[in-house]
Structure 1
Amino acid sequence: MMTLEGIEKRLIDGWQRDFPLVQRPYREIAASIHAGENEVIEGLARLGQRGILSRVGATLRPNTVGASTLAALSVAEDRLEEVAAIVSSEAGVNHNYEREHALNLWFVVTGRDQASIRSTLHRVSARTGLPVLELPLERAYVLDLGFPLHGDGAHWSAKERAEAAQLRARTLLQGEPARGVTESERRILVALADGLALSERPFKAVGEAAGLDEDEALQLIAGLIEDGIISRFGLVVRHRPLGYRANAMVVWDIADREVDRIGKRLAAEPGVALCYRRPRRLPSWPYNLFAMLLGKDRGAVLAEVDALTRMAEIGDRPRAVLFSRRSFKQRGASLSA
């Protein structure tokens, strides 16, 4: 596990969301933590070099721009690395993980439209010789992969839980976004896919890539955040290098008439990083409610799963806990694949 000290810890603790939308954002961050602009830029560069920082940029609400789906494969152990490499080689795949389950390789496919998603899934199946389980998003309740450095949710104090709950109330997804995106906004999001440059005026480069000036780029990004298309803007951190290795995708089979109510209830809990509804695929996949928990200790995460299950009164419902084993790929979503 990597440790953080000084400016690096302050950057991760303070700027996973609510990133300054100004011409010189790193200078504004520096002023808030009593550091120099170059110190902030250099600190972020070190985080990137150590594999902790994926990028500085946007997390998009699924299917508001382009299309995406979750998919899974059941892979023989002696082929897992070979198949994972095939999946990761696809430009449209942005996340690719091994998980503890008969369906042991899970990946996210993004693209410009549903046709591009289907093409990627078809190629993966053809190249691996394996059937692909496709689980498109039906409804998202919360999407927020930011996390604190002081520990996992199972060990939070009452004060930390209260503070996290206040923040969580801001991130819950209420209904569907009121609109799609314009072509200029799409170009901005494509330019943001790999993150902001670590330079004095990173939004100038984003605007230039999108054929816009700096102020236009900032205005469009602010509008995308305001309208819920960008769900979070800030540091996107890889949690595993920081000791968050007991990470579990928890799934339940919830009656269709109850799933939205239960999903919203789970989403309100600070320890739940993601919560969404996807279709069952009988007989191989009987689950329709998904939640992601990030933790450092396997036992603590399992205790948190039990606590959530009791709180939501779903102890009688079938469930499975799929801990992550390895991350083969993690990057921002591709809107042009």
Structure 2
Amino acid sequence: MFDENKLYQRIQHDFPLHARPYLSTGEAFDLAEHTVLSLLARDVGSGRISRIGAVFAPNTIGASTVAALNIPVARLERVVERINDDPAISQSHVRDGHRFNLWFVAGARDQVLLDEVLNRIGADVGQRPIDLPLEREYRADLGLPLAPGHGCHGPDALDKPSSLKHPVRPALDEADWRLAAALEVGLPLTPHPYHALARRSGLSLPETLRRLTAWRQSGVIRRFGAILRHRHFGYTHNVMCVWNVPDNRVDSVGVRLAQVPYVTMCFRRPRRLPTWQYNLFAMVHARSEQELATTLARFHAMDDLAHAPSAVLRASHCYKQRGTHYGSVMPEF
């Protein structure tokens, strides 16, 4: 019997880079091309899958940051609407557990434009967001394990957190920027999706595939394939845990923290004193309250974290979630 989870496990980070990718994907599972396309169309339409496309390593193209605001409940919906209307915002969540309750991800083509985004938001809502750019990754987005019994460090993880290296920032020409912009909405669900991507980028098909392959091999594209939405696949608990760890120990603690099951991402970000004292972040996605409790207990059992100032911020509502848009607005496929 066909197991669609095995298909999705494969194509989260092993999506083919050649002319008929849905055909070759189907062949590996004895499925016709139209069956694969129908399955993906169903799940993109239902929201289970965000898109088929690229996850770029942070700050290898453009600039991005995590930011937060302290918004009273009475103003929350209005502020969320203002933030989400900005095309530079790719994610926004309300999180309980700290006075900074509205969290969002912003991206732009360069740091100057990103600063302008944050300045506009600050002026419009009457509060400058705390800006928490990435300083170091200890665990990156490796996709969503779908095999029963595996946490977010399943057997198909792409990398070990202790060996995670940030790729060299490439020099991008205008064709690269057009290609990055064309990728933002994901590949179309047609038999020849890279032909459409090439047309949209103003490149030949061979040149489009060459550039994508180079980005993938260098690590500029961290992952290329199906971008699944956690909640739709049973990961209903989305929690951000933060600690204030001494600067001379944060890297060693971060590497160990990244190996705890159900930690999906782990970063060092700057403190913003006096309003934000934390410099170590771990994202946890769990399928049950028990999985979450076990993970939090493992954190507390770590000597370096047991007595560190900390906070647990649970996502109570996701308002927006898509890939970061670095390029200019372009027409749909």
TM-score by length of 2: 0.91
Find the residue that maps to 2:127 and give its secondary structure. coil
Q: How does 1:231-270 map to 2 (within 5 A)?
A: 231-270=222-261
Q: Which residue, 21, 35, 38 being the options, matches 2:34?
A: 38
8 Å CA contact retained: 1:265, 1:312:
no
8 Å CA contact retained: 2:243, 2:310:
yes
Which residue does the alignment assign to 2:139? 142
Does 1:163 find its partner at 2:123?
Answer: no
Partners of 1:32 and 1:312 in 2: CA distance: 46
Find the residue that maps to 2:164 and give its secondary structure. coil
8 Å CA contact retained: 1:172, 1:267:
no
Partners of 1:177 and 1:302 in 2: CA distance: 38
Find the residue that maps to 2:253 and give its secondary structure. helix
Deviation at 1:6, TM superposition (A): 4.9
Partners of 1:49 and 1:71 in 2: CA distance: 29
1:45-75 residue CA offsets vs partner (Å, 9 max, x unmatched)? 0001111110000001111101111100111
Taking structure 1 as reference, are residues 75 and 178 closer, same or farther at Cα in structure 2, changes over 3 Å only? Answer: closer
Which residue does the alignment assign to 1:282? 273
Deviation at 1:94, TM superposition (A): 0.3
Taking structure 1 as reference, are residues 178 and 73 closer, same or farther at Cα in structure 2, changes over 3 Å only? Answer: closer
Deviates more, 1:173-182 or 1:252-261: 173-182
Deviation at 1:145, TM superposition (A): 5.0
Taking structure 1 as reference, are residues 108 and 18 closer, same or farther at Cα in structure 2, changes over 3 Å only? Answer: same
Which residue does the alignment assign to 1:323? 314
8 Å CA contact retained: 2:56, 2:223:
yes
8 Å CA contact retained: 1:142, 1:172:
no
1:134-154 residue CA offsets vs partner (Å, 9 max, x unmatched)? 111111222215112345xxx
Which residue does the alignment assign to 1:293? 284
Taking structure 1 as reference, are residues 312 and 184 closer, same or farther at Cα in structure 2, changes over 3 Å only? Answer: farther
Paired residue type of 2:155: E
Taking structure 1 as reference, are residues 6 and 126 closer, same or farther at Cα in structure 2, changes over 3 Å only? Answer: farther
Partners of 2:173 and 2:257 in 1: CA distance: 33
Partners of 2:256 and 2:181 in 1: CA distance: 34
Which residue does the alignment assign to 2:92? 96
Which residue does the alignment assign to 2:331? none
Gaps of 5+ in 1: none
Which residue does the alignment assign to 1:108? 105
Paired residue type of 1:88: N
Deviates more, 1:227-236 or 1:179-188: 179-188
8 Å CA contact retained: 1:245, 1:324:
no
Q: How does 1:18-57 map to 2 (within 5 A)?
A: 18-57=14-53
Partners of 1:167 and 1:308 in 2: CA distance: 23
Does 1:79 find its partner at 2:70?
Answer: no
1:141-182 residue CA offsets vs partner (Å, 9 max, x unmatched)? 22215112345xxx538xx96725x64428952244264434
Partners of 1:113 and 1:312 in 2: CA distance: 39
Partners of 1:21 and 1:232 in 2: CA distance: 12
Paired residue type of 2:102: L
Identity %: 37
8 Å CA contact retained: 1:48, 1:55:
yes
1:266-288 residue CA offsets vs partner (Å, 9 max, x unmatched)? 22345221111110011211100
Partners of 1:35 and 1:172 in 2: CA distance: 36
Q: How does 1:50-69 map to 2 (within 5 A)?
A: 50-69=46-65
Find the residue that maps to 1:91 and give its secondary structure. coil
Which residue does the alignment assign to 2:199? 208
Find the residue that maps to 2:15 and give its secondary structure. coil
Q: Which residue, 202, 212, 218 being the options, matches 2:209?
A: 218
Partners of 1:219 and 1:44 in 2: CA distance: 25
Paired residue type of 1:102: R
Paired residue type of 2:58: P
Give the count of matched residue pairs. 327
Q: How does 1:112-191 map to 2 (within 5 A)?
A: 112-144=109-141, 146-150=143-147, 156=150, 163=155, 167-169=158-160, 172-177=163-168, 179-191=170-182
